[in-house]
Structure formats: C-alpha cells, structure tokens
C-alpha cells in the first residue's frame, strides 16, 4: 500500500469514527428526550441519523478494506449486498436532507401553523416516499446485475457493465443522480431561499424593536448598549451562515462523486483510482457532517446532551446567572414594550409573539 492509499485510508478511518460517534449521539438524544422524537423534524432526524449509522457500520469498513487490500470481499454475494446498501442509503440520505429543508421552511415561514401543517404522520409519509424511491433504484440495479466491485472507487457499488449494456446503464445512472442529487439540491436551494427571505424580514423587525428599546433606555450602561448592537449584527448573519453551510456541505460531499460517475460513462474517460476513492470519501463525509449541521449544534440538542451528562455524573444543574439574564436582549425588549404605552399595542404584541416563535424555530 503506497502513500496515497495510506492517506486515504487514514481519512476514511477518521470519517468512520466521527460518523459512528456523532450519529449515535443524535439517536441517544432523541431516545432520551420525548420532545425531540415526537416532532416531525425529530422523525426526519432519526431517519437521517439511522441511515448514516448503517452506512458507517455496514458500508465504510468494506471500502476501507478495499483501499487497503485492493480487492472485493471474498464471501459470495457480499459485494452485491453491500452495493445494494450503498445505493439505497446514499439516495435516502440526499432525499432526507431535502425533507429536512422543507420542514425548516415550514417552521420558519409558518411558525403559528407549523404543528398543524406537518405532523409526525406526515413526516412518516415523506420518509416512505424517500425509502420507496431509493428502494426502486437499488432493486433495479441489483436485478440488472450492475452492482459489484469498482476498482476506481475501491468499493462495492455500481460498476460498468459490458459494452452492449452501456446505453441502458448510462440512462439508469443519469436518472439515479437526477432523482437522488439534482432534485434534492433543487429543493434544498429553493426552500433555503425562502427561509432566508423570511429570516431577513424578521431580523429587520427585531432591529426596529431593538433600536426603539435603546432609545427609550437613555440611562443604559454603554457596555450593555454595545452588546445589544453586537447581538443585532450577529442576528443578521446567522441565517445566511447556516443556510450557506447546509448547501455547501451538500455540494462538496456529493458533487465530486456524482460528476465522476457521470464522466465515467464516456468511453474515453478513465477514472484515476486516487481521485475516485477521494470522491467516495467525500460522499461518506456527509454522514459525519450532517449530525453537526442539523442536530448537535442546535440549542435543543445541546440542552439534552447537558442533561444526559449531568444525569450520568449525578450533578444538579447550576442556577442561571443574574448578570447574564439581565443582559438578555429579548427580556429587556419585552420589559420595555410592557412599560411603554403605544396606541397599536395589540398589533405589536402579535408581531412580537410571531418573532419569538420564529427565533425559537431558527435556533
């Protein structure tokens, strides 16, 4: 095994370890907190993490062996079974990400009607459609004997058939990536654009409320005022940063592998083994990145993890600091609005309730 294979094997081991640990933490959080698993978004996250965990446990180790040994598994039928799982779980992961982006758009765009628009049963129906589509492509590839060991990617997945079957295989590969990559990417971009517009509108409303509060509190300490302005700037860029990370991770992880698979169909193209394995590792890295992008970095999951650690260590939670609570911008704005009379108080209170609900869904 040369230097390139050693580096790629080390990268794959790191991705495998992070994917196993992070997805297991997400499933533990959902099992520990009934509030997380009973939501529609919780059902989608459990499906995504479970698929990534199966991919890391049942598919990545055989690719690692292929990188180290340069040959497929010796057991009869093992490579076809692994290829079936690889095709099914990769397509299901991309469709699950699209479903999560649609769920986020409904949560941010319709916060007061979100619970009635997307219930856990509706999320189950979405997942049923995603599983059905992934299963159709996997069964079709298995039935046509297009699953096997691909030396260019050192993995059991789709492999080029003999020359007479190339046109059918090319049509199948193009359709698979159109439905499993282009369609989820289009849904992700469209819903993210809608989320960004709604978040920007609500940030503008909150900026107006913040400036009014700072004008009314003339005796406010300059450090507190400066902190409020810093929070205002962070709030403007928070939604853009999160949306950019989700779209960039999808493209970086899936696009190189999809483009390489489509270029492989040309008769004059030969895929370099190092590049093919690297593109496959990037696809696997989505299983390690998604738990942080959609779950573990959110406030609700951090709180559940903290409760689990405290229970494991048998410690009681610390009381909230009075100094930090006095500097909380949201509570300060609410107190100012309660004390200050306004002729359109009913309209403002409804806007504040809507803003608070949207901020909770965004966090």
pLDDT bin (cut points 50, 70, 90) of residue 218 is low
At the top level of CATH, which class does the domain 3-315 belong to?
Answer: mainly alpha
- In percent, the amount of the chain with pLDDT more than 90 equals 39
Band (110; pLDDT cuts 50, 70, 90): confident
Mean pLDDT of 30-49: 87
CA distance linking residue 26 with residue 22, whole number of Å: 6
Looking at the DSSP bridge assignments, the partners of residue 147 are 158
> What whole-number distance in Å separates Cα of residue 51 and Cα of residue 90?
9
pTM: 0.78
The pLDDT of residue 316 is: 56
What does the pLDDT read at residue 256?
Answer: 94
Per-residue pLDDT tens digits for 13-29: 999 999 999 999 999 99
312-344: pLDDT as tens digits? 887 655 554 444 443 454 555 455 445 544 444
pLDDT over 60 at 105, yes or no: yes
Average pLDDT taken over every residue of the chain: 81
Portion of the chain with pLDDT greater than 70, in percent = 77
The answer to whether 8 touches 67, Cβ cutoff 8 Å, is yes
List the chain domain ranges: 3-315
Q: How far is CA 252 from CA 11, 193, 216, in A?
A: 16, 19, 48
- Residue 116, φ and ψ in degrees, nearest 5: -85, -20
Separation CA 126–CA 307 (nearest Å): 31
Give the separation between CA 231 and CA 243, rounded to whole angstroms: 19
Q: Which of 43, 46, 60, 98 is nearest to 250 (CA)?
A: 98
Asked if residues 37 and 82 have their Cβ atoms less than 8 Å apart, the reply is no
The reported pLDDT for the residue numbered 267 is 86
pLDDT of residue 320: 47
């Amino acid at each position: 095994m040369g230097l390139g294979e050693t580096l790629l094997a080390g990268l794959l081991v790191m991705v495998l370890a992070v994917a196993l640990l992070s997805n297991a933490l997400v499933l533990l959080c959902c099992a520990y907190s009934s509030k997380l698993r009973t939501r529609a978004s919780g059902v989608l996250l459990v499906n995504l993490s479970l698929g990534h965990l199966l991919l890391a446990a049942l598919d990545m180790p055989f690719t690692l062996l292929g990188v180290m040994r340069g040959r497929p598994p010796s057991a009869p039928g093992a490579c076809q079974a692994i290829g079936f799982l690889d095709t099914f779980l990769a397509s299901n992961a991309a469709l699950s990400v699209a479903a999560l982006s649609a769920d986020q758009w409904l949560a941010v765009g319709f916060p007061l009607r979100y619970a009635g628009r997307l219930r856990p049963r509706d999320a189950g129906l979405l997942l049923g459609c995603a599983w059905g589509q992934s299963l159709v492509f996997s069964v079709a590839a298995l039935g046509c004997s297009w699953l096997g060991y691909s030396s260019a990617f050192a993995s059991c997945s789709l492999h080029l058939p003999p020359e007479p079957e190339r046109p059918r295989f090319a049509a199948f590969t193009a359709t698979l990536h159109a439905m499993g990559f282009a369609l989820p990417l289009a849904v992700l971009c469209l819903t993210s654009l809608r989320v960004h517009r709604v978040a920007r509108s609500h940030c503008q409303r909150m900026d107006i409320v913040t400036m009014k509060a700072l004008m009314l509190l003339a005796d406010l300490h300059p450090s507190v005022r400066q902190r409020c302005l810093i929070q205002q700037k962070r709030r403007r860029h928070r939604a853009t940063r999160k949306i950019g990370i989700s779209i960039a991770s999808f493209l970086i992880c899936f696009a190189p592998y999809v483009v390489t698979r489509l270029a492989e169909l040309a008769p004059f193209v030969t895929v370099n083994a190092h590049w093919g394995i690297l593109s496959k590792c990037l696809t696997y890295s989505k299983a390690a990145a998604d738990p942080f992008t959609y779950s573990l970095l959110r406030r609700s999951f951090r709180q559940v993890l903290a409760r689990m650690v405290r229970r494991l260590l048998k410690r009681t939670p610390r009381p909230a600091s009075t100094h930090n609570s006095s500097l909380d911008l949201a509570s300060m704005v609410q107190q100012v609005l309660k004390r200050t009379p306004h002729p359109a108080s009913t309209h403002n209170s409804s806007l504040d309730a809507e803003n608070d609900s949207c901020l909770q869904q965004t966090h």
